[in-house]
């Protein structure tokens, strides 16, 4: 297909399939770049820390990983209609490598504290859970909305300086964009721009590679590659 575009019914951007003989428009997004970005999310480049399910507008200003059934059964479901099913707190493989950039501590420590509460208080109500664990949830919200507060520390790294800075600059927290991307201000126009939350129209994958310094790995830069190697 030499040239075409798709307009999403839920958005206003255009995705472009381009060839060497066709120039990309100033308001169009490169198809290959966009698909690669989404593919990496599908491979595990995302955090499960989100606003509480009943707090869609995030008025509580708090983030929590999902609380799920420990034994999900053969069908793989993680929810249950039974109130007696044992529960746990779930984090993604991406979350396991997430750290605070101010002290180097792993966010998994927060998850473990919440897991311990859930497993030790099987009869606790939602209100009990919120009252007990809210300080952790509020802390995560503050970290997720304070610039350069969270990072991803690759599996073969021990220094905070090796961490990939995550996106925590969006005011008020934006589900799907905050935390689950690299920091735009740090990695814009670099070889690791691929996983920033904002795309740049008018540029092809070749343009991005060139602007990023022609990294041999193509559009997947060295820091992005280290994340993929860590999450397997």
Q: For residues 216-220, give the mean pLDDT.
A: 94
Report the C-alpha gap between 205 and 194 in whole angstroms: 10
Q: pLDDT, tens digit, for every residue of 63-114?
A: 999 987 766 555 445 555 555 667 788 999 999 999 999 999 999 999 999 9
Q: Examine the domain organization and report whether 78 and 111 are in the same domain.
A: yes
What value does the mean pLDDT take over residues 203-226? 95
Nearest to 93 by CA among 40, 146, 47: 47
Of the residues 181, 197, 223, the one at which a domain ends = 181
Does the pLDDT value for residue 33 go beyond 80?
A: yes
pLDDT at residue 158, as a whole number: 83
14 with 124, same domain: the answer is: no
Q: Is 111 exposed, middle or buried (0-12, 13-18, 19+ CB in 10 A)?
A: buried
11 and 34 in a common domain: yes
Could you give the 3-state DSSP secondary structure of residue 12?
Answer: coil
Residue 2 has pLDDT above 50, yes or no: no
Do residues 89 and 66 share a domain?
A: yes
- Together in a domain, 22 and 94: no
**Mean of pLDDT values over 20-29:** 80
Residue 197 shares a structural domain with residue 98: no
Q: Whole-prediction pTM value?
A: 0.86
When divided into structural domains, the chain yields a total of: 2
Helix then strand then coil, % of the chain, to nearest 5:
30, 15, 55
Nearest CA-CA partner of 144 in 126, 104, 171, 124: 171
State the average pLDDT over residues 25-36. 92
Same domain, 175 and 186: no
Question: 28 pairs with which residues across the strands?
Answer: 14
Residues 144 and 206 in one domain: no
Q: Do 189 and 175 fall into the same domain?
A: no
Do residue 84 and residue 28 come from a single domain?
no
Query: What residue numbers bound the domain in which 28 lies?
Result: 4-42+182-231
| Residue 222 burial (CB count, 10 A) | 13
**132 in the same domain as 106:** yes
């Amino acid at each position: 297909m030499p040239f075409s575009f798709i307009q999403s019914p839920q958005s206003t951007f255009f995705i472009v399939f381009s060839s060497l003989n066709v120039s990309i428009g100033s308001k169009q997004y490169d198809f290959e770049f966009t698909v690669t970005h989404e593919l990496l999310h599908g491979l595990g480049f995302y955090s499960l820390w989100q606003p509480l399910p009943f707090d869609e507008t995030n008025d509580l200003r708090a983030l929590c990983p999902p609380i799920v059934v420990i034994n999900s059964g053969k069908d793989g479901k993680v929810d249950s209609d039974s109130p007696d099913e044992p529960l746990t707190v779930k984090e993604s493989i991406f979350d396991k490598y997430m750290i605070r950039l101010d002290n180097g501590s792993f966010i998994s420590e927060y998850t473990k504290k919440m897991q311990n509460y859930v497993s030790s208080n099987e009869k606790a109500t939602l209100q009990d859970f919120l009252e007990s664990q809210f300080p952790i949830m509020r802390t995560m919200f503050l970290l997720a909305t304070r610039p350069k507060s969270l990072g991803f520390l690759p599996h073969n790294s021990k220094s905070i300086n090796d961490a990939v800075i995550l996106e925590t600059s969006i005011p008020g927290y934006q589900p799907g964009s905050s935390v689950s991307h690299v920091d735009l201000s740090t990695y814009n126009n670099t070889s690791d721009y691929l996983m920033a939350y904002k795309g740049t129209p008018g540029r092809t994958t070749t343009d991005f590679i060139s602007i990023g310094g022609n990294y041999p790995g193509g559009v997947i830069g060295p820091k992005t590659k280290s994340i993929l190697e860590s999450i397997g």
